[in-house]
Amino acid sequence: MPATSIIGIGSHHGADQLGWLLCERLKHLDWPDTIDIQLCRTPAQLPELLNHCENAILLDAIKTDTDSGKILQLQLKDLADNPNASHSCHGFGVTEALELATALGQLPASIIILAISIDDKTAYDGVISPDLLSELHEVIEDHLNKL
Amino acid sequence: MNDSRSISIHVPVLARVEGEGALDLIIENDLIKELKLRIFEPPRLFEKFLEEREPDQVIDMVARICGICPVAYQMTAVHAIESLFKVEVTPWIRNMRRVFYCGEWLQSHALHIHLLAAPDFLGFNSVTEMAADYASEVRRGLRLQTLGNDLIALFGARSVHPVGACTGGFYHAPSNEQVKAIVTRLQQARSDANDLLHWTAAMPLPDDSQDFVSVALQHDIEYPMNEGRIISSNGLNIGADEFNAHFREMQIPHSTALYSLLHDQPYLVGPLARINLNTDRLPEDLHKLLDQYDIHFPSQNMFHSMIARAIEIRLVIDEAIRLLSDYQYTEQTAVNWTPTAGTAYAATEAPRGLLWHRYEMNASGLVEQAQIVPPTSQNQARIEEDIKLSLQNLGLNQSEDAIRLRAETVIRNYDPCISCATHFLKLSVTRN
């Protein structure tokens, strides 16, 4: 399986911690040695993290009008087409970080964003359901097998 | 030609600053009629949350005030509490706290210079645009920022909201191998820091000298970070416990951040103020480097803050190398302490400037009342004053776009952290 970094994006706050929590849970599953799992603490760190990986899978929470816990597979252009898609610190969010990595030629050979939907109206309780984790594992393995 | 005109400039959301703020500016007949830096981010009430908390809870909680400068909040809290409890830390703890702080200055300044401020001075709307022409410089900024983050994580376990600091010291010490690896990276980063200093010194910064008062810490021999007296360019020289006798916080209608005034006047905190007041604390080799450029400190050009940050990046890299070069792992990472009732005070130098804390604590070591004065609220009145002066120097007959850009450039030049600054002094509710 090709070397791939699974990068959880987020913070300690509310639903924004979802990317981190999922990565922490994924670490307890069986992965080949070529897979590494890490956390990204601010979007400004993302270009440097991407600079050092061959393939990347980004995990992040996404606010939607739909139910929580849906896994959306996004490509870079999906973020570019939705300039308000990412929230940010210093006006520098995931979208801007990926644009910067692109401008610097620091994107890995392949990159997908797995966005986990969060219901905008309900406070996130920090619980990861076994079904969500299982589905995420499956989606990641499918993606890795296609690389 | 009619030379009278009215301009109303409204920047609804300030870009490339931390937090939520806006700028309202009305110019009538080439005079500024109204200027408001509106900070509308909701108050965060941290001071109230800290009440009835134990010292180590305080240190963890204040880190959450800011994702960019958590070390500053932790170090200010820990110094205040230890000052009251009369805790004497070991030289190892003192030195490693300084290294911890070096990491924060490094990552914060590298982020500000490369990603937030430089596009303004080089004519770009964003760092992404700038990367097309300045790719190697942007990569350098990201490398330096990553190194700063890793230095914080070395002692804090993570770079955002670190958890390694405690009353009396640290919870753990990094291994000799970890320190050796980061010292190698720090040594390699010296050339990046030199290049950065050269780059900022050559940058087309506006020549905009103004009359302002600088306020910063001053230590007997060191460039100030964790310790020192609060001094100003107009003669102030006080201990942290005297802050409230000279500085006044006040609320204004258009901001959820408090204004802070020194003897009822605006003042500057931050890298330029620090260098202005501590030029003689810079190491000799940095003076020699600076001699190459026609830039002299103290400086009254606010835009020299960019160069001041670059100088401080070089300074903290060397300082971290010096403090870590003879590093030895130890199990004695913290000293014991006993709570004492009383008032705890401390001031340290956050990347953005002076950060002051005061805690009323009871005999059990619980906080009864807290007061936190962050750098951005101290700079708020100065920012408004600076925008007025800078726009007058630019010429109020300039185009709206030029005026808007200069105003935003002035604000970003301070690297304001609005999220840190938003809190209420007092909430008064009247019910009939």
Mean pLDDT on B29-53: 84
DSSP letter string, A111-139 = EEEEEEEEETTS-------HHHHHHHHHH
User: Are the C-beta atoms of B85 and B337 separated by less than 8 Å?
Assistant: yes
Q: How confident is the model at residue A18 (pLDDT cuts 50, 70, 90)?
A: confident
Q: How confident is the model at residue B354 (pLDDT cuts 50, 70, 90)?
A: very high
Measured between alpha carbons, how far is B151 from B133 in angstroms, rounded to an integer?
30
> Which string of b and e fits A97-112 if b means at least 16 CB within 10 Å?
bbbbbbbbebbbeebb
B63 touches chain A (CB under 8 A): no
B184-189 long-range contacts, CB within 8 A, separation 24+:
B185/B147, B185/B150, B186/B147, B186/B151, B186/B317, B186/B320, B186/B321, B186/B324, B187/B321, B189/B143, B189/B144, B189/B147, B189/B317
Q: How confident is the model at residue A2 (pLDDT cuts 50, 70, 90)?
A: confident
Q: Enter the tokens of residue B15.
A: 């870009």
For B78-87, what is each residue's pLDDT tens digit?
999 999 999 9
Give the chain B residue whose CA is nearest to the CA of A106. B139
Give the chain B residue whose CA is nearest to the CA of A100. B128
DSSP letter string, B259-321 = EEEETTB--B-SHHHHHHHHGGGS-HHHHHHHHTSS--SS--BGGGHHHHHHHHHHHHHHHHH
Q: How confident is the model at residue A147 (pLDDT cuts 50, 70, 90)?
A: confident
B186: phi then psi, degrees, rounded to nearest 5: -65, -40
Q: Where are the beta strands (DSSP E) in chain A?
A: 4-9, 35-40, 55-64, 71-74, 88-89, 92-93, 110-119
Least confident of B254-258, B297-301, B422-426: B422-426
Please name the member of A12, A47, A96 whose beta carbon is closest to the beta carbon of B142. Answer: A47
Mean pLDDT on B150-155: 96
- Residue B14 has a pLDDT of 64
Q: How confident is the model at residue B423 (pLDDT cuts 50, 70, 90)?
A: very low
Q: Say how many C-beta atoms besides its own lie within 10 A of residue B397's C-beta.
A: 12
Q: How confident is the model at residue B340 (pLDDT cuts 50, 70, 90)?
A: very high
Mean pLDDT on A109-116: 92
Q: Enter the tokens of residue B58.
A: 């305080």
- Residue B425 has a pLDDT of 30
For B396-405, what is each residue's pLDDT tens digit?
888 888 888 8
Nearest to B15 by CA among B405, B308, B421: B405
Q: How confident is the model at residue B431 (pLDDT cuts 50, 70, 90)?
A: very low
- pTM as predicted: 0.89
Is the pLDDT reported for residue B416 higher than 50?
yes
pLDDT above 70 covers a percentage of chain B that reads 93
Q: Do A104 and B138 touch (CB under 8 A)?
A: yes
B228-236 long-range contacts, CB within 8 A, separation 24+:
B228/B347, B228/B349, B230/B347, B230/B354, B230/B356, B231/B277, B232/B262, B232/B267, B232/B277, B233/B273, B233/B276, B233/B277, B233/B298, B236/B262
Is the pLDDT reported for residue B338 higher than 50?
yes
Nearest to B224 by CA among B240, B213, B209, B235: B240
- Residue B26 has a pLDDT of 87
Most B CBs within 10 A among A40, A79, A89, A95, hence the mutation to make, goes to: A89
Chain A hits for B148, CB-CB cut-off 8 Å, are none
Mean pLDDT on B110-135: 93
For B60-75, what is each residue's pLDDT tens digit?
999 988 778 899 999 9
For B258-315, what is each residue's pLDDT tens digit?
889 999 999 999 999 999 999 999 999 999 999 999 889 999 999 999 999 999 999 9
Instruction: Find the radius of gyration of the CA atoms of chain B.
Output: 21
Sign (positive/negative) of CA torsion B160, B165, B166, B171? positive
B110: phi then psi, degrees, rounded to nearest 5: -65, -40
Is the pLDDT reported for residue B21 higher than 90?
no
More confident residue, A92 or B352: B352
Burial of B298 per CB tally in 10 Å (0-12, 13-18, 19+): middle
Least confident of B178-192, B221-235, B309-323, B417-431: B417-431
User: Are the C-beta atoms of B303 and B113 separated by less than 8 Å?
Assistant: no
Mean residue pLDDT of chain B comes to 90
Contacts of B370 (CB under 8 A, 6+ apart): B46, B47, B48, B50, B51, B58, B357, B358, B359, B360
Instruction: Find the radius of gyration of the CA atoms of chain A.
Output: 14
Is the pLDDT reported for residue A83 higher than 80?
no
Mean pLDDT on B136-144: 96
B42 touches chain A (CB under 8 A): no
For chain A, domains (ranges, CATH) are 4-146 (3.40.50.1450)
pLDDT above 90 covers a percentage of chain B that reads 72
Is the pLDDT reported for residue B2 higher than 50?
no
Burial of B399 per CB tally in 10 Å (0-12, 13-18, 19+): exposed
Is the pLDDT reported for residue B138 higher than 70?
yes
B344: phi then psi, degrees, rounded to nearest 5: -100, 135
Measured between alpha carbons, how far is B116 from B17 in angstroms, rounded to an integer?
7
In order of A104, A117, B38, the CA distances from B13 in angstroms are 27, 26, 10
Is the pLDDT reported for residue B197 higher than 80?
yes
User: Are the C-beta atoms of A116 and A61 separated by less than 8 Å?
Assistant: yes
Q: Do B128 and A103 touch (CB under 8 A)?
A: yes
Is the pLDDT reported for residue B53 higher than 80?
yes
DSSP letter string, B38-71 = EE-SPP--HHHHTTT--HHHHHHHHHTT-SSSHH
Measured between alpha carbons, how far is A31 from B266 in angstroms, rounded to an integer?
58
Q: For chains A and B, count residue pairs whose Cβ atoms are closer than 8 Å.
A: 62
Cis peptide before B298 (omega within 30 of 0): yes
Chain B hits for A106, CB-CB cut-off 8 Å, are 139
Mean residue pLDDT of chain A comes to 84
Most B CBs within 10 A among A88, A92, A94, A102, hence the mutation to make, goes to: A92
More confident residue, B378 or A66: B378
- Residue A6 has a pLDDT of 95
pLDDT above 90 covers a percentage of chain A that reads 36
Q: Do B131 and A100 touch (CB under 8 A)?
A: yes
Mean pLDDT on A3-11: 90
Is the pLDDT reported for residue A26 higher than 90?
yes
Q: How confident is the model at residue B432 (pLDDT cuts 50, 70, 90)?
A: very low
For chain B, domains (ranges, CATH) are 46-378 (1.10.645.10)
Q: Do B115 and A44 touch (CB under 8 A)?
A: yes
